[in-house]
Amino acid sequence: MSESPERRPNIIWIFGDQHRAQALGCNGDPNVSTPNLDRLAAEGVNFTNAVAGSPLCCPFRGSLLTSLYPHECVPGHEYQMPPDSRTIAHAFNDAGYHTAYFGKWHLDGFKEREGRAAYHIIPPERRGGFQSWVGYENNNSQWDSWVHGGEDDGAFHHRLPGYETDCLTDLLIDYIRARGRDVEATIPSQAPFFAVLSVQPPHDPYTAPQEWMARHNPATVQLRPNVPDIPRVTHVARRELAGYYAQIENLDWNVGRVRRALADANLTDDTYIIFFSDHGDMHGSHGEFRKTSPWEESIRMPCIIGGGQPFYGRGRGECPAPINHVDIAPTSLGLCGLDTPEWMRGTDYSGRILPGRPEVTQPDSAYMGIVVPTGHGHSVDKTWRGVVTADGWKYAAFEGMPWLMFNLNEDPYELVNLAHDPAFHRKRRELNDMLREWAADTGDEFAAPTD
């Protein structure tokens, strides 16, 4: 591909909510069939150690779009992204791209105690710079999902006619069809595009269309080894996981629909797809549910980059780099031959993907944490920070006190906490120093332990 603006590749982000990295066929989950995502991974790059640096919806999304850390942008649940924030949409707009967003936003600071967020209208100036935007603030009812968009005389607000993931995918497919090109065209007649599909599933409530729900029986779900054999935990975990896997298989099917739409529009070779999630879901591991914890099930997200001519027919395999939420925007720009704006914090990993792209110095760890506690039950309700290293260590701390430390190479299910074991004091000090350095470098005022 040449470097002229009209020939730059397109980028599509597809991501769900609470989809943990472990819940993919290509990542070894025996409960779920994800042929379309497995194929995308086989043809592209599967970042097997990707990190959701803030395992909570709003902070993750703020960091995703701005490439700033939560304490610099959106610190907590139901906090508004500053309206003057520069986002990846602005960077693509400046490069001559058309930008479009479809689905869940959750960055306008609306408080659910004030009413149902699905009815909240986000004004155009607070939609992150996207040129086309059809979405909603938040919605926890996949069969009763409302979207809005447009402005002035063209503004609209309506209920989607079916299951949320299917209907939002329909909107993206319509957008792709409108931007398709004639098979004989050597130069696309329209600007390249950056499009985002953000769906709520597999977020709770864990329901999907009957075709998908019928495939999963709670009694036959295989639980992870770190789910304690406590009836009140295992009963809920099995019941919820059955619906969770149904939602994921439906999302996988919709990824296949998007890929077919790209092929029909003659855009397959021109378009990269990046599939990820905003964080994971505990589903009973360590006796916890949902998110906000530093455990693997909460902080690991799927991250697959595929599609596009450079990948076609020859996958790049698995990449162990700890790509973080702040890194997705710079990497997306890098795939298009665009430099990372100076205001972005993240690392451009496109050099690990595309031949000819420069490989920048990559961090030896990923920084993560919860800045503002949520009060959500069945998870950790304290401020914490942590690091996950490229060589397989994890460390997390409360303010002024070490909390968790695991050698993930020998203990992938995090059954042995080494944080308070004197035999590992030197390693804890090393990781604690790393955490303190991350806090200092990013202007984070977290009171890390002194030792």
At residue 313, the pLDDT reads 45
Q: Domain ranges in the chain?
A: 5-363, 382-441
Q: How confident is the model at residue 272 (pLDDT cuts 50, 70, 90)?
A: very high
* Mean of all residue pLDDT scores within the chain: 94
> What is the Cα–Cα distance from 2 to 137, expressed in whole angstroms?
38
Mean pLDDT of 16-43: 97
Mean pLDDT of 24-28: 97
At residue 312, the pLDDT reads 47
At residue 316, the pLDDT reads 67
At residue 187, the pLDDT reads 56
* Closest among 314, 180, 163 to 253, alpha carbons compared: 163
> What is the Cα–Cα distance from 392 to 300, expressed in whole angstroms?
13
At residue 182, the pLDDT reads 64
* Closest among 217, 202, 306, 216 to 252, alpha carbons compared: 202
Residue 5 has pLDDT above 50, yes or no: no
Residues 208/243, Cβ–Cβ less than 8 Å: yes
* Closest among 110, 102, 99, 103 to 74, alpha carbons compared: 110
Q: 424 by DSSP, 3-state: which?
A: helix
Which two tokens mark 99? Answer: 């930008």
At residue 3, the pLDDT reads 43
Q: Please give the CATH number for the structural domain made up of 382-441.
A: 3.30.1120.10
* pLDDT, tens digit (0-9, with 9 covering 90-100), for 203-225: 999 999 999 999 999 999 999 99
Question: Does the N-terminal peptide bond of residue 205 adopt cis geometry, omega within 30 degrees of 0?
Answer: yes
With b meaning 16 or more CB within 10 Å and e meaning fewer, what string describes 332-350?
bbbbbbbebeeebbbbbbb
Q: Are the folds of 5-363 and 382-441 the same?
A: no
Q: Say whether domain 5-363 belongs to CATH 3.40.720.10.
A: yes
At residue 377, the pLDDT reads 79
* Closest among 306, 247, 285, 447 to 378, alpha carbons compared: 285
Mean pLDDT of 412-435: 97
Q: How confident is the model at residue 376 (pLDDT cuts 50, 70, 90)?
A: confident
